[in-house]
Amino acid sequence: MGINVDFDDHLSHHHYQRVEIPPPKPFLKTLKSNVKETLFPDDPFRKFKNQPLSKKISLGFQYFVPILDWAPRYTLQLFKADIIAGITIASLAVPQGISYAGLANLPPVIGLYSSFVPPLIYAVLGSSKHLAIGNVAVPSLLISAMLGKVVNPHENPKLYLQLVFTATFFAGVFQASLGFLRLGFIVDFLSHATILGFMGGAATVVCLQQLKGILGLVHFTHQTDIVSVMTSIFTQIHQWRWESGVLGCCFLFFLLLTRYFSKMKPKFFWISAMAPLTSVILGSVLVYFTHAEKNGVQVIGHLKKGINPPSYSELAFSSQYLAIAIKTGVVTSIIALAEGIAVGRSFAILENYDIDGNKEMIAFGLMNIVGSCTSCYLTTGPFSRTAVNYNAGCKTTVSNIVMSIAVMITLLLLTPLFHYTPLVVLSSIIISAMLGIIDYNSAIHLWKVDKYDFFVCISSYIGVVFGSVEVGLIVAVAMSLLRILLFVARPKTFVLGKIPNSMTYRNIEQYSAASSVPGVLIIHIDSPIYFANASYLRERISRWIDEEEEKQRTSTEIELQYVILDMSAVGNIDTSGISMLEEVKRNADRRCLKVLLANPGGEVMKKLDKSNFIDKIGKEWIYLTIGEAVNACNYILHNCKFQSKRIDSSATPDDNV
């Protein structure tokens, strides 16, 4: 009784600030706040506050149509920079568009169509100043791999093309829906390591597929795994065309050499950007004058003149393969979003401006919906084209408009010139581009920084290369989700010690100078407490106590009497977490230990109060800081020791007997 009175006197004397319970809020207000924080973390409505109706309408149009925001401030100086950048990326867009269309088993002209309409839509709706729109290799490969399983593009090209347009339509619907519903955070579930491994594996597969064009093979496997591809290549050695192989190796060497030179001398970036178109021109001239097409070198052949014909009537909504078209659209849209938004953000950081991921999704979605109705297939913002756009001095999305106009002129006037373009040149262009995607330096960096991230990366890579693109994607998503589950289900906990000559407490494993407090165990919980990790935390806290008691049995220190749970990192707790704390308290009571809480947050205090846990543990055992909790424990320990000595000194010999 005396100790409790002294303890109360100690608390009042030191004026400890009690941990307060936040005032209750109405349920609807709390729900509104949570929804806003989840779906609108950037608070896009902030600029609309205290504005007249006309201004709100104007800001609304500018928000959804960004060109209305910056177009009034557009100058001739900006246009000069954009026109140079636009012409530069057009020289890259034409050969890449033709090449990637072939990768998707589509007519080459579809690749040109896809570099005409979608960039115009993005120029109006997009928020990135530097993103250059066009086809990309990995989604092209995915389209070929997934739709090619149900419809042979060579035996039934019309149905295959219809399914591609349908898949593109649903890709756009899915992307726009994510943006409108503010669900862009879903794409963030694909970690950097996952995307790195998946893109590297897909790039490897694409390179292997291009060996068909390099070697001049007519028949080739439809499988994408490395075993099937290499088997197909080496079982047809007698059909290899040396003319095609020599031509392909020469152009590949030329492309890699120009890229290396531009990398070493960044001001000559345009050399690398012009190299693909230069290769197409040189290859076409060479084939035309040598008649190499008669000696086994395959050429593009006839390309249809004219701009995009409408294709809304080609959307196969009633096809028996609609389900696979939807599946293909959703899968490819996620990959396209992940790449496009990541590229856009990368260059926005370089120029110190922000882009809205949800607005980008809306722009990508509408771009692909319109594209599917105008004979285009899936487009996004590829890194290679965007890098060229940035290096060429692009200032706004007008560079995309300039590129579209250049592609339109090509479609109207220049398509016959591509008749003699050898397929081997297109294969060389694709291989050159894909080698830049295989980022082994980043993989080495992952190994140095985080072994698990490296394992995720390699698993994704192996899944794509030795399985299929779909298998690799499943592995990539599964590994990402597993990583999230491990973070949630196995949170970090560690013991804190006191830094000498301070009131600071830190991890004793990280800080060698930190020393544990005699008789007190301080455990830091480094995550919210949910049903997924409550059982683990209960067992881990019990093990920390066991280890501390075992350590003190072999030492002369004061035996363990207090366990302080540092709740500063516990942002939230559910009913399973509260039950876990109750079990920890009961276990501590059985061991004659006292549990204290330090610095629980507002949300945690509200739930502990409503569950009556505060009454069970006692308000006097909840502290604002670890230091206050430790001081209280030390005061009681000191008082107990003092009173014990006083009793011993006042005892008579007979009493001792």
Q: 116 with 97, same domain?
A: yes
Predicted confidence at residue 651, as pLDDT, reads 45
CB within 8 Å of 451: residues ≥ 6 apart: none
* pLDDT at residue 380 tops 60: yes
Q: What is the mean pLDDT of the chain?
A: 85
**Biggest alpha carbon–alpha carbon distance for the chain:** 123
**Which of 485, 508, 542 delimits the end of a domain?**
485
Structure tokens given for 501: 């000559």
Q: 469 with 508, same domain?
A: no
* pLDDT at residue 113 tops 90: yes
Q: 379 with 515, same domain?
A: no
Q: How are beta strands 520-525 and 493-498 bridged, if at all?
A: antiparallel
| Domains held by the chain: number | 2
Strand order in the sheet with 493-498: 505-507, 493-498, 520-525, 562-566, 594-598, 622-623
Give the angle subtended at the CA of 96 by the CAs of 91 and 102, to the nearest 5°. 145
Within a domain: 385: yes
Task: For residue 299, list its beta bridge partners.
Answer: 422
Q: 88 with 178, same domain?
A: yes
Within a domain: 187: yes
**C-alpha pair distances (Å), 462 with each of 137, 207, 239, 456, 475:** 18, 15, 30, 10, 9
CB within 8 Å of 351: residues ≥ 6 apart: 129, 130
* pLDDT at residue 318 tops 60: yes
Predicted confidence at residue 640, as pLDDT, reads 63
- pLDDT single digits (tens) 444-467: 999 999 888 898 889 888 988 898
Q: What is the mean pLDDT of residues 570-591?
A: 93
Q: 108 with 215, same domain?
A: yes
Residue 428's closest CA among 210, 151, 261? Answer: 210
* pLDDT at residue 193 tops 70: yes
Within a domain: 496: yes
Q: 498 with 627, same domain?
A: yes
Q: How far apart are CA 121 and CA 108, in angstroms?
A: 22
Range among 512-516, 562-566, 632-636 rated most confident:
562-566
Within a domain: 36: no
Q: How far apart are CA 471 and CA 271, in angstroms?
A: 38
- pLDDT single digits (tens) 596-641: 999 999 899 999 999 999 999 988 899 999 999 998 888 887 776 5
Q: 288 with 385, same domain?
A: yes
Residue 272's closest CA among 379, 380, 384? Answer: 384
647: pLDDT confidence band, cut at 50, 70 and 90?
Answer: very low
Among the residue ranges 133-137, 265-269, 555-559, the one predicted with the least confidence is: 555-559
392: pLDDT confidence band, cut at 50, 70 and 90?
Answer: confident
**C-alpha pair distances (Å), 205 with each of 135, 201, 224, 248, 429:** 17, 6, 6, 18, 15
542: pLDDT confidence band, cut at 50, 70 and 90?
Answer: very high
Within a domain: 289: yes
Structure tokens given for 575: 């009913």
**Which of 455, 485, 515 delimits the end of a domain?**
485
CATH code assigned at 594: 3.30.750.24
- Residue 141 structural domain: 68-485
- pLDDT single digits (tens) 208-265: 888 888 887 777 777 778 888 888 888 888 888 887 888 888 989 998 998 888 888 8
**Contact between 187 and 84 (Cβ < 8 Å):** no
Check residues 385 and 576 and name the one with the higher pLDDT.
Answer: 576
Q: 525 with 481, same domain?
A: no
Q: pTM of the full predicted structure?
A: 0.78
Within a domain: 62: no
Within a domain: 143: yes
Q: 433 with 476, same domain?
A: yes
Q: What is the mean pLDDT of residues 557-579?
A: 91
Q: 399 with 513, same domain?
A: no
Check residues 58 and 159 and name the one with the higher pLDDT.
Answer: 159
Helix, strand, coil % over all residues of the chain, rounded to 5? 65, 5, 25
Q: 299 with 422, same domain?
A: yes
DSSP string, 497-534: EEPTTSS-EEETTT-TT-BPPTTEEEEEE-S-B-HHHH
Predicted confidence at residue 223, as pLDDT, reads 74
* pLDDT at residue 371 tops 90: yes
**Which of 485, 512, 532 delimits the end of a domain?**
485
341: pLDDT confidence band, cut at 50, 70 and 90?
Answer: confident
Within a domain: 45: no
Q: 521 with 474, same domain?
A: no
